[in-house]
Structure 1
Amino acid sequence: MITEDTVVSDEVVINAPAEIVWDVLVNFKDYHKWNRFCPQADATLELGSPIVMKVDLGFGLQDQVEFISLIEPGKAIAWGMENKPGDPIHAVRTQILKPLDDNRCSYLSIDDFKGSDPEALKAMMEMMAKRVEDGFNLCAQGLKEYAEQIACPA
């Protein structure tokens, strides 16, 4: 879903306990095993820590450095741009897990874009929002498939 300043992935139900999905989500060194949107990530799970990523927004892999801004173990993690004064656009991505029962959870990824320049924000959303949405959905699907393999190996 795309609004004027937000991109939200499809909410997926994962047939694995939230604890397993959380462990996959914060095991940055193994992103290449499941995350086709962001197949490379390097970070320490600490507030303020940089997360150095390779992200594919349809132009091939590009470097992206953001900073972890929220850690709620088993529930949510967020990271965002450095947000220097005068930057026209700021973005924070939050990934949310909700336990549905002991063996299932849902996953949702939200990117909130804010900025001091409404025209720059509008132009960026027109150019990039669909690519971000597609990437987030690719990530959600990969997370689902990989976590379910771990939870119920064949």
Structure 2
Amino acid sequence: MDPAASIEIDAPIERVWAIMLDTEQYAGWNPFVERADTAQPLAVGNPIVLHVVWANGKRTRSPERITALDAPVTDPATGTTSALMSYVYEGLPARLGLVRGVRHQRLTQRPGGPTTYETVEVFRGPLVRLAGPGRVADGFRRHAEGLRRRAEAASSPEG
């Protein structure tokens, strides 16, 4: 099973999207990816190095490449607004064909509703189990909760 997480955020989709793109501020809210090194502004094709903190406190670096940055767009037929950020894992196991991973982070917001954040990592390859899908899923849950707290605080009068 591919690691995933989902959470509803009581904040406008544009606010959540801006927080996701502001990788230089991740240390202030993101307990899973404490830093993301990439050229600013973010762009499809750019390399991005994620500095990951596992639940046990151990750290690792994950080299990725941005594959999608679809800013919020509203479907005129439904009024639903959506956005997408994706990147592909480029570490040595990927180059050797042992573990491939693509992470998608999708936002959706129906008119008058909260923003839904969903993330999933689609893993493939013979050594996927060594990538630790369970610990990745835990990180995704912590990431989602941190994003919710940050976006809701930024939307409040005190934020």
Indicate whether the TM-score tops 0.5.
Answer: yes
TM-score (norm 2): 0.83
| Alignment partner, residue 89 of structure 1 | 99
Matching residue of 2:140: 136
Distance in 1 of aligned mates of 2:8 and 2:32: 19
Match of 2:61 in 1: 63
Structure 2 residue aligned with 1:113: 123
Displacement after TM superposition at 1:60 (Å): 1.4
Distance in 2 (CA, whole Å) between partners of 1:15 and 1:100 is: 12
RMSD over equivalenced CA pairs, Å: 1.5
Deviations 1:114-141 (A, max 9, x none): 12x3xx23x326xx11111110000000
In the alignment, the residues of structure 2 paired with residue 70 and residue 54 of structure 1 have an alpha-carbon distance, to the nearest angstrom, of 20
Q: Deviation at 1:23?
A: 0.1
Deviation larger for 31-40 or 75-84: 75-84
The 3-state SS of whatever aligns with 2:98 is coil
Q: Distance in 2 between matches of 1:43 and 1:100?
A: 31
Select 1:47's aligned residue among 35, 38, 44: 44
Deviates more, 1:144-153 or 1:95-104: 95-104
Unaligned runs of 5+ in 2: 73-82
Partner of 2:7: 12
Q: Distance in 2 between matches of 1:48 and 1:59?
A: 30
Hey, what's the Cα distance between the residues in 2 that align with 1:39 and 1:101?
A: 32
Residues 15-24 or 51-60, more deviating: 51-60
How many residues are treated as equivalent by the alignment? 142
Q: How far 1:21 moved relative to its partner?
A: 0.1
Unaligned runs of 5+ in 1: none
Deviations 1:78-97 (A, max 9, x none): 1111243x421100011000
Contact 1:17 1:102 in 2 (8 A): no
Matched, 1:31 2:26: yes
- CA deviation after TM superposition for structure 1 residue 59, in Å: 5.1
Runs of 4+ more than 2 Å apart: 100-104
3-state secondary structure, aligned to 1:97: strand
**Identity among equivalent pairs (%):** 27
The secondary structure found in structure 2 opposite 1:73 is strand
Report the TM-score, using the length of structure 1 for normalisation.
Answer: 0.85
For 1:73, the equivalent position in structure 2 comes to: 71
